Structure 1
Amino acid sequence: MKEIVTIQVGDYANYVGSHFWNFQDELIGLAEDPQADSVYKNHDLNMDVLYRTGETQQGISTYTPRLVSINMRGSLGSMSSRGTLYKDVAPTTSDIFTWTGEVSTQASEPRKKNLFLQRLYEDENLNMVNENNGSSSEDQDKDITECLENEVQFWTDYSKVHFHPQSLYELNGVWTDVEDFDNYGIGRDSFTWASQGEEISERLRFFVEECDHVQGFQFVVDDSGGFSAVASEFLENIVDEYTNTPVMLYAVRGSGSRASPQSRNRKILEELHDAISFSRLSSYCKLIVPVGLPSLSKASKFLHIEDEKHYHSSAVYAAALHSISLPFRMVPVGPTADACSVSGAVDFHGLIQMLSGQGRQNMVSILDVAMPTPALTGGQNAPSLLEHFHPLTPMISEDGEDIQAIEHLTIHGAFTSVEGRRASVCEVKDTVDAAFQRANTRPMFSHLSVALCPLPIPLPFPSIFGNQVGKHGKLMSDQLTNSSSKGSLDVHSIPMAARLRSSSAVLPLLENKLQNLHRYGITRGAAGAELLRSWGFGKEELEEMQEMLSKMVATLCPPQLSSDSD
């Protein structure tokens, strides 16, 4: 088995991660539920790739994510940093003999669990309320979904997963407001690897050393502020200690997380942060996937996203990450290939080589999603599946052709358009092949992974589906588009498609970062030169970043044809 260790750094990264692990937990629960659809029982996915088995001090068996999560102190809401499997032991002062003066204790009130967490952990107060009111399970679920829509403050508020005590790490420091922790320099000043890095390394080592063969690190970082610097330090250490283990990095940020700069200085700071952050993070990974649109509300006509809610946007990004990660844990196809429920298994190394090692050496990938995926059609005039993808990577070119493009598609839980049943692996393959045949352009190379198992929608999933989306994700054409939205009580699963592509369409994003680094940080008299010095960056280091970005741009630029006069 080839295990994956997941790392989440920063507040928004943990919002995404909370939804991601909820999907996995739901799959595990449905596989054990005798009343659940058989598609969840024979999904041919090896969950041990992401999870570890263990045992509590009381001898109770556990099954927890192989995860290291890093965030600010106080970011866990009502959850303990030791997770939910072990009870915290209150510290005592009975063994302190060196102080003879008076001792005063200051303790903050623990945060109260919301309705969802009370229900999840069978809180006595909630049970009492239910008994007094005679409320039904359906009424409780409605109250819970309404509560989450209006009251989510922390990523733990909607997490239904048990975490290992080694998983959740809170950074020490003065920064308690994530809105103030908003640039690379602050992160670099507030975090030093010498003071806290060894404890973080030990937590990662705990998960790695018990693996048989680690296929890679799935690294999710909130790159919108100071956590970029924390992640860079962590990544540098990972590269040094785990030389041959690839890192696949998702740089995520929330929709609408930045207001329009109120001043030129603020604009310069943000542009330099983005350039520095991208340069540093990309230098320590094999593949980087920028994720996070300024607005998600227009990304799909089937979704109703409130951009200001991280709880909403992170659910979409987590669904895409779930789909892309499916091939890493697919059970390899055996002799019964025609009847299998998965096809196209690939590991970290294979995917990274596919996207960054064929033809031109490109390490930046675009993430697209079709959520939910429309029924497969084969008609000549019907829109193909390929036309339903929406990019989740910002600042990419919408038009233009790239004959050297490389793509990896994952499709799971798709329906046929005729009988309305789930499409077989072969039917999905045939439909995609037909779509490429009809397309005006096609990538140089395309890899397809298919699974029958759809994306399960757990109870704490936000109400973001339009009223055209049916119970199992089928799109109902007879429903009119309006402002109403559905959640987990109405939609139990959806078909999904996600795509990673290496394409020159990402050039605008790369050119923007290169130009801003040169304009504001390197050119003579640059307006941000002093700011970068205060962040600890010298001229040589900045020029190295500029050279690396220049190479990325040059790699993707189409070859220039010689003129007749040459």
Structure 2
Amino acid sequence: MFSIALGILTYTPRLISLGLQGSLGSMSSHGTLYNHEPATALDVTTWTAGVSTHTAERHKKNLFLQSLYEEQDRSATVDKSGPQREYQDKDIVENLEKGVKFWTDFSKVHYHPQSLYELSGLWMDAWEFDNYGIGRDALSNGLQGEEISERLRFFVEECDRVQGFQFMVDDSGGFSAVASELMENIADEYTNTPVLLYALRAPESYVNLGKRKQTILRSLHDAVSFSRLSSYCNLIVPVGLPSLSTSRASSFFCINDEKLYHCSAVYAAALHSVSLPFRMGSLAPTADLHYVSGGVDVSEVVQILLGQSRRNKVAILDMAMPAPSLTGKEAGERLLGHLHPVTPEIAEDVEDLQAVETMTVHGVLGPGGHEASASEVKDTIHAAYEHATMRPKFCHLSMAHSPLPIPLPFPSIFKNVVGQRGELLENPTAGPPLKGSLDVHSIPMAVRLRSSSAILPYLENRLGYLRRYGVDRGAPGAELVRSWGFGKDELEDFGEDLSKMVIELKPHREVSSDSD
């Protein structure tokens, strides 16, 4: 959507972002479009004793944010003369690498005043907001929940057509409960609008503290969180590996798992590419295994992945970053071979005759270094699947020419084999050991969402956690879950729903027939 600020047409994301109070760093919860004066303290006339005031210093803008505001000021000023900034882009890159504390430290877009929301009244640190029970109490008074719903209605009313809702939820702690309550309201108010949910996790959420009590809490949280979230969405995509740095997905970049600045850049790149077809125009379909188009909406992606012969609402996300060039006889096999999962707890090399998938490829290079055409991409992938031992029952392909841009705040994570256009260099030139936005300007990407029985370990783990710690006779976590507001009947319902998901994907499950 767009807004008018200072007489300038400014585009803003149609977004509602929820976080704990103080999680926005130097950015105001009212965004950056309009000058908003902070509320001043009121004089207390009914209190006669002494009053002490404790004021926290405002977070200072880092060099990157300072450069954005300086650039904006220069563009809004007729007189271009004046002192130039004393730092360079390399100083900004170094400052980001060492000093990122909030996601707003590397955000370069404007936000609408209705977009950023801080949950108030939670007097705890972020690390304490770590389980479903705590999150369930966050909106218990109902006032904040209604205010968030009003903001959602504001954005919905600005739409010509609502193709669906995309949720990105850190489901490792209390925000899982906050999201499930909001999603329940959406399910009631927007009955026929699909909901696509990405359940995101940082590597730090997998750290094993070694204490049995903590293990029980986290296991039950995982089971309850997934059960609740999956019941209010049409499709759920778990994203986030215990160690992204040692995974096959990181073949061409090097990151520090402890830096959310690094991990979030990789996962954000994947989610940007996955959602790219929602923002594209359509092309004509082709009548073969691979349905090729430009754009699809959320509803179409959900329908593709839910399939016809079975109902699996949990999808796996694979990514190739960067995607290899389409050169040589085995270009398709090489492209498919570069797709690696960023969904945790999945089985490898599973042959599933009912698997379906939707793939997005954009900015990939063809022979000679030119941008590959839609037909080249389609023919290459089609040929690869024709000769593959494991192939999906159905594959939808979306293709775009534009690669993923690598803007200034992107971290320096690419290995020296990655070239300026994201091409993989056979003979890397001497240079920095890791490259960022100053050396790599764009990246060809390939991502894939697939519905496959490879997700079974993820589902079976959550079913096992629920039974072992919450439902079985003498379960050690029964009292804990009861304190979260769930009775035994509800837990058994969760278990039954999870069991149905598992049975649906079992390769040798019993299938009833009308003749029985």
Report the TM-score when normalising by structure 2: 0.91
Q: In the alignment, is residue 80 of structure 1 matched against residue 20 of structure 2?
A: no
Indicate the SS of the match to 1:289. Answer: strand
Change (3 A) 1:457 1:265: same
Letter in 2 for 1:403: L
User: What is the rounded CA distance, in whole Å, between the counterparts of 2:123 and 2:361 in structure 1?
Assistant: 41
2:492 corresponds, among 535, 539, 543, to 543
Letter in 2 for 1:527: P
Task: Please name the residue that 1:415 is paired with.
Answer: 365
Change (3 A) 1:392 1:134: closer
Task: Please name the residue that 1:355 is paired with.
Answer: 305
Indicate the SS of the match to 2:337. Answer: helix
1:234 corresponds, among 182, 193, 212, to 182
**Cα deviation 1:351-387 (Å, max 9, x = unaligned):** 1011014220110000000000011134159843111
User: What is the rounded CA distance, in whole Å, between the counterparts of 1:124 and 1:324 in structure 2?
Assistant: 31
User: What is the rounded CA distance, in whole Å, between the counterparts of 2:71 and 2:459 in structure 1?
Assistant: 50
Q: Is the CA contact 1:166–1:203 (under 8 Å) kept in the aligned structure 2?
A: yes
User: What is the rounded CA distance, in whole Å, between the counterparts of 2:308 and 2:508 in structure 1?
Assistant: 16
User: What is the rounded CA distance, in whole Å, between the counterparts of 2:363 and 2:380 in structure 1?
Assistant: 14
Task: Structure 1 unaligned segments of length 5 or more: list them.
Answer: 1-51, 336-341
User: What is the rounded CA distance, in whole Å, between the counterparts of 1:208 and 1:461 in structure 2?
Assistant: 31
Which of the pair has the greater relative contact order for Cα pairs under 8 Å at 6+ separation?
A: 1
User: What is the rounded CA distance, in whole Å, between the counterparts of 2:430 and 2:228 in structure 1?
Assistant: 43
User: What is the rounded CA distance, in whole Å, between the counterparts of 2:211 and 2:432 in structure 1?
Assistant: 36
User: What is the rounded CA distance, in whole Å, between the counterparts of 1:482 and 1:119 in structure 2?
Assistant: 26
Task: Please name the residue that 2:100 is paired with.
Answer: 152
Note the C-alpha offset of 1:344. 3.4
Task: Please name the residue that 2:348 is paired with.
Answer: 398
User: What is the rounded CA distance, in whole Å, between the counterparts of 1:133 and 1:246 in structure 2?
Assistant: 49
Letter in 2 for 1:144: I
Change (3 A) 1:352 1:382: closer
Matches within 5 A, 1:79-228: 79-92=27-40, 105-122=53-70, 135=86, 140-192=88-140, 194-228=142-176
Q: In the alignment, is residue 312 of structure 1 matched against residue 236 of structure 2?
A: no
Note the C-alpha offset of 1:188. 1.6
**Cα deviation 1:278-316 (Å, max 9, x = unaligned):** 110000000000000000112321010110011111111
Task: Please name the residue that 1:297 is paired with.
Answer: 245
Letter in 2 for 1:347: D
Task: Please name the residue that 1:439 is paired with.
Answer: 388
User: What is the rounded CA distance, in whole Å, between the counterparts of 2:124 and 2:443 in structure 1?
Assistant: 38
Indicate the SS of the match to 1:179. Answer: helix
User: What is the rounded CA distance, in whole Å, between the counterparts of 1:457 and 1:396 in structure 2?
Assistant: 30
Letter in 1 for 2:204: G
Task: Please name the residue that 1:373 is paired with.
Answer: 323
Indicate the SS of the match to 2:165. Answer: strand
Indicate the SS of the match to 1:169. Answer: strand
Change (3 A) 1:282 1:205: same
Letter in 2 for 1:66: R
Indicate the SS of the match to 2:113. Answer: coil
Task: Please name the residue that 1:498 is paired with.
Answer: 447
2:339 corresponds, among 378, 382, 389, to 389
* Number of aligned residue pairs: 496
Q: Is the CA contact 1:343–1:451 (under 8 Å) kept in the aligned structure 2?
A: no
Letter in 1 for 2:343: T
Indicate the SS of the match to 1:54. Answer: strand
Change (3 A) 1:93 1:278: closer
Note the C-alpha offset of 1:260. 1.4
Indicate the SS of the match to 1:280. Answer: helix
Deviates more, 1:248-257 or 1:72-81: 248-257
**Cα deviation 1:190-235 (Å, max 9, x = unaligned):** 3326131011001111100121110000100000111111111111
2:219 corresponds, among 253, 271, 283, to 271
Note the C-alpha offset of 1:258. 3.2
Task: Please name the residue that 2:482 is paired with.
Answer: 533
Q: In the alignment, is residue 448 of structure 1 matched against residue 375 of structure 2?
A: no
Note the C-alpha offset of 1:423. 0.7
Matches within 5 A, 1:328-367: 328-333=278-283, 343-367=293-317
Task: Please name the residue that 1:28 is paired with.
Answer: none
Indicate the SS of the match to 1:448. Answer: strand
Change (3 A) 1:181 1:481: farther
Task: Please name the residue that 1:288 is paired with.
Answer: 236
User: What is the rounded CA distance, in whole Å, between the counterparts of 2:162 and 2:313 in structure 1?
Assistant: 21
Task: Please name the residue that 2:78 is paired with.
Answer: none
Change (3 A) 1:228 1:561: closer
User: What is the rounded CA distance, in whole Å, between the counterparts of 1:306 and 1:551 in structure 2?
Assistant: 38
User: What is the rounded CA distance, in whole Å, between the counterparts of 2:216 and 2:377 in structure 1?
Assistant: 47
RMSD, matched Cα: 2.5
Letter in 1 for 2:176: S
User: What is the rounded CA distance, in whole Å, between the counterparts of 1:194 and 1:134 in structure 2?
Assistant: 48
Q: In the alignment, is residue 470 of structure 1 matched against residue 424 of structure 2?
A: no
Task: Please name the residue that 2:203 is paired with.
Answer: 255
Note the C-alpha offset of 1:174. 3.0
**Cα deviation 1:83-113 (Å, max 9, x = unaligned):** 0011122434689876777765443221111
Indicate the SS of the match to 1:544. Answer: helix
Q: Is the CA contact 2:281–2:294 (under 8 Å) kept in the aligned structure 1?
A: no
Letter in 2 for 1:451: A
User: What is the rounded CA distance, in whole Å, between the counterparts of 2:48 and 2:37 in structure 1?
Assistant: 25
Q: Is the CA contact 2:332–2:383 (under 8 Å) kept in the aligned structure 1?
A: no
Percent identity between the two aligned chains: 63
**Cα deviation 1:8-67 (Å, max 9, x = unaligned):** xxxxxxxxxxxxxxxxxxxxxxxxxxxxxxxxxxxxxxxxxxxx02224x5443211100
Task: Structure 2 unaligned segments of length 5 or more: list them.
Answer: 75-81, 286-291, 512-516
Task: Please name the residue that 1:48 is paired with.
Answer: none
